Amino acid sequence: MRATPPSLHSRRKFVNDGDFNRRIKEKLLILGTVCKVSANKYKIYADGEFYFIPARGVLKLRGKDIKVGDVVSFSNDVIENVEERSSFFPRTNVANVGMINIVIAPLPEPDFLLVDKMIAEAYAGGAKPVITINKADLSSGLADYVKDNYSLAVSAVFCVSAETGEGIKELVSFMRGSFVAFAGQSAVGKTSLINRIFGTDKTVNSLSEKTLRGRHTTTSREIHFSDGLEVIDTPGFSSVELCGVKSNELDKLYPEFEQFVGKCYYVGCSHTAEPDCLIKEAVSSGTISYDRYQRYLTIYKELKENEKRKY
């Protein structure tokens, strides 16, 4: 469960024993959320105010690398400690995320292998994945495909338009109360959605006329706060390797597999080449998406190959 939202953080004193607490005993500290990292200083939001301060050098010596989303204890002039994280996602490089909003669009053409990897990464890290189709007015076929193939895989599917505002109200209502990271390919409209939701004017991405692929414009990470919303835009990317996921754990990151996992004829069934596999039977009957299953096989093979190279 994510740490208390920064708007609810209050000042407190540390009175427990230990080297850290003895050193700062009786010092009034504030709990806040790191919303931007800039060089060696951190922009922190707490109690309705922003602070721009450094961290004590000893934190790095202790291996505490401060990330956007971290909840920290600080005085008026320095960060003293980093609170325990509820989650961390290496690809987005953001801590304590409770929801990953995977944004896709008709153009650039969606990479559903990437989408499936992001969904698995979200579940592995303890976050709730959702899919938002931006520029939905440009293609009804994409929305139909996503709903048919991902309704069992994610918590919700939204069809929106950052340009017209279509579907934005419903998306905002669903996100309110969670710390949400927008993730996905470049030029799908993540920043445009941020601008529409928060009334900002951040530079947006564009498509290359030659390749129809996005150009990177979002290079930093910053949390946006407004009326119960906490949203961060992350740089677009075109590939992702599942970090920390083992091949024999992959099936547990597919919600549509859940009712079948552990019930196949062979103990430890990988659902790839074994006979009498309930998941393969579910794919044949249409209960499980054929396309999702084919990409599962691809990801499983990648994980197995990585494990062979490692050992």
Q: Domains (ranges, CATH) in the chain?
A: 6-82 (2.40.50.140), 88-233 (3.40.50.300), 247-310 (1.10.40.50)
Place of tokens 């009498």: 276
Which stretch of 25-29, 107-111, 194-198 has the lowest confidence by average pLDDT? 25-29
What pTM does this model have? Answer: 0.83
As a whole-number percent, the residues of the chain with pLDDT over 70 amount to: 84
pLDDT confidence of residue 10? 31
Say whether pLDDT at 3 is over 60.
no
Q: Hey, CA dihedral for 119, 122, 123, 124, is it positive or negative? A: positive
Average pLDDT over residues 100-118: 95
Say whether pLDDT at 5 is over 60.
no
Contact between 132 and 274 (Cβ < 8 Å): no
**DSSP assignment letter at 134:** T
Distances (CA, A) of 52 to 3, 12, 158: 21, 20, 36
Average pLDDT over residues 90-114: 92
pLDDT confidence of residue 213? 46
Mean pLDDT value across the chain? 85
**CA distance linking residue 233 with residue 133, whole number of Å:** 16
**CA distance linking residue 161 with residue 136, whole number of Å:** 6
Contact between 99 and 118 (Cβ < 8 Å): no
Reported as a pLDDT band with limits 50, 70 and 90, residue 28 is confident
Better-scored residue on pLDDT, 278 or 86: 278
pLDDT confidence of residue 205? 55
What DSSP element (H or E) covers 221?
none
Pairing of strands 94-95, 88-89: antiparallel
Average pLDDT over residues 46-60: 88
**CA distance linking residue 150 with residue 148, whole number of Å:** 6
Task: State the chain's maximal CA–CA distance in angstroms.
Answer: 66
The CA-based dihedral angle spanning residues 300, 303, 308, 311, taken in that order and rounded to the nearest 10 degrees? -140
Average pLDDT over residues 190-214: 71
Tens digit of pLDDT for each residue in 62-74?
Answer: 777 899 999 999 9
Average pLDDT over residues 210-224: 58
Read off the tokens for 294: 């084919």
Read off the tokens for 3: 């740490």
Pairing of strands 99-104, 179-183: parallel
With CA atoms as reference, report the closest residue to 242 among 156, 300, 310, 309: 300
**In sequence order, which ranges of the chain are alpha helices (DSSP H)?**
19-23, 57-61, 112-125, 140-150, 168-175, 190-198, 278-285, 290-310
**CA distance linking residue 97 with residue 68, whole number of Å:** 10
pLDDT confidence of residue 278? 98
175 Cβ contact list (under 8 Å, min separation 6): 99, 101, 229, 231
